[in-house]
Chains A and B, each alone.
Chain A
Amino acid sequence: MNASHSTVFLLDDEPGMLKALARLLKAEGFTVQAFTSAKTFLESYRPETLGCLVLDVAMPELNGLELQQHLTRSGFLLPIVFLPGHGDIPMSVQAIKAGAVDFLTKPVKDAALLRAVRAALQRAVEQRDLISEIALLRRRYASLTPRESEVMAHVVAGQLNKQVAGELGIGEHTIKIHRARVMEKMGVESLADLVRAAERLGQKPG
C-alpha cells in the first residue's frame, strides 16, 4: 500500500473548503485532484486510476449520494469518504450501505480525515488486488475441462471422492485423477484453497 501511487479525488462545491482539504492532504504527501462539481469530476476521472473520493453531500445538480449510485452503477470501484457540511443518520446509513468507507461531518479532525482517506486508499488497493486475483482464477478455471469443472464443483461442495464417483457414474480412481488435475490447474495446494477460489469465482457450494 503505497500512498504515492494513488490519488485522492476531492469534490466540494465550496472552493475554500476544497483548497483547505487539498492543502491538508498534500501536506501528508497525498496526490490530490480537486473538483467543485460532480460533472467536471466525472469528465476527468479514469477508472484505472487508483484512488479514493472525498465527497461533500450537499451539492447543487448532483448530490453526493446520487454520485455514489452513479459510480456504482458504472462499475467504478472508487472508495468514497463522505464529508458533508451536516449530515443526518438516514443519510449516513444510506451512504455506508452503498459502500462508503466512512461518513464524516465538517468540521472534521485532521486525524480522522486522514485515517479515513488512508482506509479508503487501502480499500482501493485491496479492491484492485482482489480484482486481479479473480481475473487469474478465472483464467485458470477457464483452462479446466468440463469434467474437471464438474468434479471441482462437487469437491468444493464437500463431497467425498466415492460420493462424486457415484453421482457422476464414473470410477473413484478416475475422480482422484481429475481432482489432482483441478488442484494443479487452479494453482491450489489444499482443498481449503480450492473452496476459497471457488467462492471468489462466485460458485456456491453444492
Chain B
Amino acid sequence: MFAGHEFAHTRIVWRHAGLVLPAALCYSCGRMSWVTIIWSMIAAVSATLATIYLLIWFRERRSWAYLCFFVLAVGVIGMAASEFAAMHAKSPTEYGAAVRWGHFANGLMAVGALGFVHFYFGTGKGWLLGAALGLRLLAVVMNFCTGLNLHIGSIQSLQQVNFLGEPVSMLGVWTLNPWVRLGQFAALVQVIYVVDASLRLWRTSARESRRRAVMVGGTLAFFTLFSSAQAGLVAQGVLRMPIIVSFPFLAVLLAMSWELSLDARRAAQLGRDLRESEQQMAMATEAANLGVWVRDLTRNTILASDRWRLLFGFTPAERLDLEKFLQRLHPDDREIFRQAVAKATNGDGRYEAEFRVMLPDGGMRWVISRGQVEFNSGGKAVRVRGVSVDITERKRTEEASRNANELTAAIFNSVPGLLYLYTEDGRLIRWNRQHEVMTGYSAEELLNFRIEEWFDEENRLKLAQEFPKIFSEGYTQVEMSLILKNKQKMSVFATGSKLILDGKPHMVGIAVDISARKRTEEELAQHRTELSHLSRVATMSELSSSLAHELNQPLAIILTNAQAAQRLLAQNPPDVAETREILADIVNEDYRAGEVIRRLRAHLKPGQTQRRPLSVNEIIEEVLRIGRSDLIGRGVTVHTALAESAPQVLGDRIQLQQVLLNLILNASDAMAGNPPAQRHLTIATAHRDGWVRISVSDNGCGLPAEPERIFQPFYTTKKDGLGLGLPICRSIATAHQGRLWAESNELAESSPASPRAGKGTTLHLELPAETEPNP
C-alpha cells in the first residue's frame, strides 16, 4: 500500500520531467554549448513550473504557497539569467550589472522560498520571517546603493576561464564590497527561520509533515547555505569558478514541486474519497429519511433534496423561498423557527428547531431541522445548510411516554399513603410526594434511605422476618410502626411486592397510615373493657347476697372461735391447748375470708386485660367457688365433666371467669321454674383440632325461637336484667379469637359431656388452644 503510493509519486514526477526536457533541448540546440544548454534548461524548467503553479494559484487564490512557489521560480529564472549574463560579460561593468540583478533575483527567491515555508508549513515564527525578509530587502537595497553590487566594490579586470568546456568570464582583479556580510547575515537568518519552522513541523510528528520538513526545509536550508557560501567564496576569490546559485535552487524548486505534486495526488484521492462519502451520505440521508437543504440568505432561495421537499409537501420542481417555507409551518411554530434562526445567526451558527409542518393535504407532521450557518469574511450570515427529519413518530412516542409518566406520577401521588421502591439491599430509590409529607423527610434525605432506619428494635425484627419473604415468595403484608422525622411513631399497614427492574429484584409497595384505626381499636378495646367491667359489677351485685354469705361464713366462724377461746382462757386452769387450735383455725378462716375478698375485688376492679396461658379447668373451678353459695341457694346441682389434659388457652383470667359466671348464672335462672331436685347444671370441657371448648348445659326453660337473639344487647328475660351479659360475653370471646354460641338441647344429641341433657340449653365457648395438650 505504502510502496504503491511512493511508486505513484515517482511516476508523476518523471512524466513532468519528460515533458520539460525535450523542449529545452530543442530550444538550445543552436549554440551547442553546455553552459547555454544547462542554464537554458534551468530557466525553462523553472519557467514551466512557475507557469503551472501560477495557473494553479489563479484557480485557488487562497493557496498562497502556490504564488510563493511562482515567485521563487521567477527568482530562479532571474538568477539563471543573471549567472548566464555574468559568464558571458564582456566588461567589468557588464559583469557587475549582471551580478547586481542576480542579487535582485536572489531577493525574489528569498521572498518566494520564505513565503512558501510560511504558508506551506504554517509553523514559522513571524518575527524571524520579518527579520529575514527585512534583512534581505536591506541587502537588495545595499546591492543597488553600494559598490558594483552587494559582493563587489569595484572590478579592475575580468578574466576568462574554461568552464564546462567553454570559456566564460569571471572576476580578474576586484575589491570586495564590505556589505557582503549583510547578505551573508541575511542568508543566515533565512536559514535559521527555515530550520526553526522545519523543526517545529517535525515536532508535530505526523509522518507527512516530517517528510515535508526534511524535503523542503532541509533542501532549502542546505542550498541556501551552499549557494551563499559558494557565492561568498567566489567573491573572495577562493573559488575560481562562476557563481552558480540557480542550479541548487532548481533542486529546491524540484523538491518543492515534488511536495506539491504529492498534495495534488492527495487532493485527487480526497476528491475520490469525497465522492464516495457523498454517495454514502446520500444513501445515509435517504436511509435516515433526512431531507437536505441549503438556504441562501442573501438571495432568499432554498435548495433542497427531493426527500426534503416530500417532507414539507413541495413538488420536486417547485422553486422555494422563505415565504413558501413559512406557509408550511404551523402558525404557532413560526415564531419558534424565527427565534432559532436568530439565535444561530447571532451565536455560534448552530441552528436547531422543532416545528409542525402543515401539509397541503391537511396532514400534519413534526419535523426537526438542524443546520449550520455560514458566514462571509465580514461576519455576515450568508447561508444555512442543514438537514430535516420527520419526528412525528418520536413525538407521538414521547407524548405517549409523557402521558404514561404523568399517569404514573398521578397514580403515585394519589395513593393515600406511602408508596416506595426499594432495592434488594434496602435502599429507597423512588417514592411519592405523600411519602415526603407524611414522614417529614425531604427528597434529598429520602434518596437511598436505609429501610431499617424506619424502625425501632421490635419492628426491625419483624422487618428481618418479612423483607426476605418478599424476594422468596413475591409478596408480603404486615402491620408495623414507622419512626417519623419528628421521632413520633406512625402505625402502618404495609405491603411489599417483588419487582424486577433492570434485571435486579426490587421491592415496591405501599404503606397506609392506620394510626386512626389502631386508636379506634384501642378505644373499642377500652370500651369493651369498661363495659365488661360494668357487666362484672352487675353480676357481682346479682351475686352480692350469696357472696356476702360466702364472706360471712368465715367471719362467723372466726367470731365463734374467738368467743370460745375467751371462755376457755377464763377457765381455771385455762385450756391453752384448745385455744391454740382455735387460733390456728381463726388464721385459716381469715385467709379464707381474704380469698373471697380477693376474688370479689378482681371482678370489681376495672383493669386492663392481661393475656396469659390459662387452664380452663382451673377457671371453671374458681368460678364454681364464687358461685357456690348462689347455686346452693337456688337449689342447683352442679355436675362437671372436665377433660383432664385440656390444653391451655391464652386469655384474661377475670374476663373468662366473667363469661363462665354469666353462663352459669343464666343457666341457674333458666332452671328456676324446675322443681328443686331437678335443677342440673353440667359443665364440660373438651379439646379438638387446636380448640378448647367449654360447654355449660342446663335443663331449664330453653332458648327463644331465634337463639341468636340472646346475644343481642338489651334482650333479657329477667325482671331486672340489663340484657348486656351475653353480648359482652360474646365480645370477650371474640376478643380472645374465640366464639360463643347457644344450642338447644332438644336439637343436640345426648352426649357424654352433658348426660342429663334433654330439655334445656347448652352454651359453648370455644377458644384457640395455646399449647399442645399435656400428656
Residues 21-42 of chain A, each 1 if its beta carbon lies under 8 Å from chain B, else 0: 1011001100000000000000
Q: A19 contacts the other chain (Cβ, under 8 Å)?
A: yes
A24–B548 CA distance with the chains assembled, in angstroms:
24
Q: How far is the CB of B116 from chain A (nearest CB, A)?
A: 141
Q: Say whether B564 contacts A23, CB under 8 Å.
A: yes
Q: Say whether B568 contacts A58, CB under 8 Å.
A: no
Q: B429 contacts the other chain (Cβ, under 8 Å)?
A: no
A107–B549 CA distance with the chains assembled, in angstroms:
10
Q: A157 contacts the other chain (Cβ, under 8 Å)?
A: no
Q: A106 contacts the other chain (Cβ, under 8 Å)?
A: yes
A113 (CB) vs chain B CBs: closest residue: B560
Q: B567 contacts the other chain (Cβ, under 8 Å)?
A: yes
**Candidates B556, B561, B567, B632; contact of A58 at CB < 8 Å:** B632
Q: A202 contacts the other chain (Cβ, under 8 Å)?
A: no
A60–B636 CA distance with the chains assembled, in angstroms:
9
A81–B565 CA distance with the chains assembled, in angstroms:
22
Q: B633 contacts the other chain (Cβ, under 8 Å)?
A: yes
Using a CB-CB cutoff of 8 Å, which residues 93-122 of chain A contact chain B? 106-110
Total A-B Cβ pairs within 8 A: 73
Given known A-B contacts A58-B633, A86-B548, A107-B552, A16 and B564 have beta carbons under 8 A apart = no
Using a CB-CB cutoff of 8 Å, which residues 531-567 of chain B contact chain A? 545, 548-549, 552-561, 563-567
Given known A-B contacts A14-B557, A16-B585, A60-B632, A24 and B552 have beta carbons under 8 A apart = no
Residues 563-586 of chain B, each 1 if its beta carbon lies under 8 Å from chain A, else 0: 111111001000100100010010
Q: Say whether B557 contacts A58, CB under 8 Å.
A: no
Could you say which residues of chain A place their CB within 8 Å of the CB of B549? Answer: 58, 85-86
Given known A-B contacts A14-B557, A27-B571, A58-B633, A20 and B564 have beta carbons under 8 A apart = yes
Q: B589 contacts the other chain (Cβ, under 8 Å)?
A: yes
Residues 61-102 of chain B, each 1 if its beta carbon lies under 8 Å from chain A, else 0: 000000000000000000000000000000000000000000
Could you say which residues of chain A place their CB within 8 Å of the CB of B548? Answer: 86
Q: Say whether A23 contacts B632, CB under 8 Å.
A: no
B677 (CB) vs chain A CBs: closest residue: A61
**Candidates B553, B558, B564, B632; contact of A27 at CB < 8 Å:** B564
Q: A3 contacts the other chain (Cβ, under 8 Å)?
A: no
Given known A-B contacts A27-B571, A28-B567, A60-B632, A20 and B553 have beta carbons under 8 A apart = no
Given known A-B contacts A58-B633, A60-B632, A85 and B556 have beta carbons under 8 A apart = yes
User: Quick one: which of A14, A16, A19, A109 has the most chain B CB within 10 A?
Assistant: A16
**Candidates B560, B575, B629, B633; contact of A20 at CB < 8 Å:** B560
Sorting the interface of chain A by its residue count into under 10, 10 to 19, 20 to 34 or 35 or more gives 10 to 19
The prevalent SS among residues of B at the interface is: helix
Q: A165 contacts the other chain (Cβ, under 8 Å)?
A: no
A112–B272 CA distance with the chains assembled, in angstroms:
145
Q: Say whether B571 contacts A17, CB under 8 Å.
A: no
Q: How far is the CB of B278 from chain A (nearest CB, A)?
A: 123
Q: Say whether A16 contacts B571, CB under 8 Å.
A: no
User: Quick one: which of B554, B561, B571, B633 has the most chain A CB within 10 A?
Assistant: B561
Could you say which residues of chain A place their CB within 8 Å of the CB of B633? Answer: 58
Given known A-B contacts A24-B567, A85-B549, A86-B548, A19 and B556 have beta carbons under 8 A apart = no
Q: Say whether B564 contacts A24, CB under 8 Å.
A: yes
A60–B632 CA distance with the chains assembled, in angstroms:
6
B550 (CB) vs chain A CBs: closest residue: A85
A108–B563 CA distance with the chains assembled, in angstroms:
10
**Candidates A27, A60, A85; contact of B567 at CB < 8 Å:** A27
B554 (CB) vs chain A CBs: closest residue: A16
Q: How far is the CB of B548 from chain A (nearest CB, A)?
A: 7
**Candidates B552, B559, B563; contact of A85 at CB < 8 Å:** B552
Could you say which residues of chain A place their CB within 8 Å of the CB of B559? Answer: 107-108
Q: Say whether B553 contacts A24, CB under 8 Å.
A: no
B561 (CB) vs chain A CBs: closest residue: A20
Q: Say whether A17 contacts B564, CB under 8 Å.
A: no
A106–B549 CA distance with the chains assembled, in angstroms:
9
Q: Say whether A86 contacts B545, CB under 8 Å.
A: yes
Q: Say whether B553 contacts A23, CB under 8 Å.
A: no
A106–B552 CA distance with the chains assembled, in angstroms:
7
Using a CB-CB cutoff of 8 Å, which residues 50-66 of chain A contact chain B? 58, 60
Number of B residues, CB within 8 Å of A: 29
A23–B560 CA distance with the chains assembled, in angstroms:
8
Could you say which residues of chain B place their CB within 8 Å of the CB of A23? Answer: 560-561, 564-565, 568, 578, 582
Could you say which residues of chain B place their CB within 8 Å of the CB of A108? Answer: 556, 559-560
Could you say which residues of chain B place their CB within 8 Å of the CB of A106? Answer: 552-553, 556, 560
Q: Say whether A17 contacts B563, CB under 8 Å.
A: no
Given known A-B contacts A16-B557, A58-B632, A110-B563, A86 and B552 have beta carbons under 8 A apart = yes
Q: Say whether B567 contacts A17, CB under 8 Å.
A: no
Q: Say whether B571 contacts A19, CB under 8 Å.
A: no
A58–B631 CA distance with the chains assembled, in angstroms:
11
A23–B582 CA distance with the chains assembled, in angstroms:
9
Given known A-B contacts A58-B632, A58-B633, A110-B560, A20 and B552 have beta carbons under 8 A apart = no
A108–B564 CA distance with the chains assembled, in angstroms:
12
Could you say which residues of chain A place their CB within 8 Å of the CB of B558? Answer: 107
Using a CB-CB cutoff of 8 Å, which residues 611-663 of chain B contact chain A? 629, 632-633
**Candidates B566, B567, B585, B629; contact of A19 at CB < 8 Å:** B585
**Candidates A24, A28, A60, A85; contact of B560 at CB < 8 Å:** A24
Could you say which residues of chain B place their CB within 8 Å of the CB of A20? Answer: 556-557, 560-561, 564, 582, 585
Q: Say whether A14 contacts B553, CB under 8 Å.
A: yes
A25 (CB) vs chain B CBs: closest residue: B564
Q: How far is the CB of A169 from chain B (nearest CB, A)?
A: 61
Q: Say whether A107 contacts B589, CB under 8 Å.
A: no
A19–B552 CA distance with the chains assembled, in angstroms:
16
A130–B473 CA distance with the chains assembled, in angstroms:
99
Could you say which residues of chain B place their CB within 8 Å of the CB of A109? Answer: 563
Q: How far is the CB of B577 from chain A (nearest CB, A)?
A: 12
Q: Say whether B632 contacts A21, CB under 8 Å.
A: no
A17–B592 CA distance with the chains assembled, in angstroms:
13
Q: Say whether A107 contacts B585, CB under 8 Å.
A: no
Given known A-B contacts A27-B568, A60-B632, A17 and B557 have beta carbons under 8 A apart = yes
A44–B188 CA distance with the chains assembled, in angstroms:
164
Could you say which residues of chain A place their CB within 8 Å of the CB of B582? Answer: 20, 23
A24 (CB) vs chain B CBs: closest residue: B564
User: Quick one: which of A19, A27, A60, A108 has the most chain B CB within 10 A?
Assistant: A27
Q: How far is the CB of A91 from chain B (nearest CB, A)?
A: 12
Given known A-B contacts A27-B567, A27-B568, A28-B567, A21 and B560 have beta carbons under 8 A apart = yes
Given known A-B contacts A16-B589, A19-B585, A86-B552, A24 and B563 have beta carbons under 8 A apart = yes
User: Quick one: which of B552, B564, B582 has the most chain A CB within 10 A?
Assistant: B564
Q: How far is the CB of A69 from chain B (nearest CB, A)?
A: 14
**Candidates B560, B578, B588; contact of A17 at CB < 8 Å:** B560
A28–B575 CA distance with the chains assembled, in angstroms:
13
Q: Say whether A17 contacts B585, CB under 8 Å.
A: no
A20–B582 CA distance with the chains assembled, in angstroms:
8
Q: How far is the CB of B83 from chain A (nearest CB, A)?
A: 162
Q: B residues engaging A (CB < 8 A)?
A: 545, 548-549, 552-561, 563-568, 571, 575, 578, 582, 585, 588-589, 629, 632-633
- Per CB-CB distance, the 6 closest pairs between chain A and chain B, nearest first, are A106-B556, A20-B560, A23-B564, A110-B563, A107-B556, A27-B567
**Supplied contacts A85-B549, A108-B560, 18 more A-B pairs, CB within 8 Å:** A16-B553, A16-B557, A16-B585, A16-B589, A17-B560, A20-B557, A23-B568, A24-B560, A24-B561, A58-B629, A60-B632, A85-B556, A86-B545, A86-B548, A106-B553, A107-B552, A107-B555, A107-B558
Can you show 19 pairs from A to B with CB atoms below 8 A apart?
Answer: A14-B557, A16-B554, A16-B585, A16-B589, A20-B560, A20-B561, A23-B565, A23-B568, A24-B560, A24-B561, A28-B567, A60-B632, A86-B549, A106-B556, A107-B552, A108-B556, A110-B563, A110-B564, A110-B566
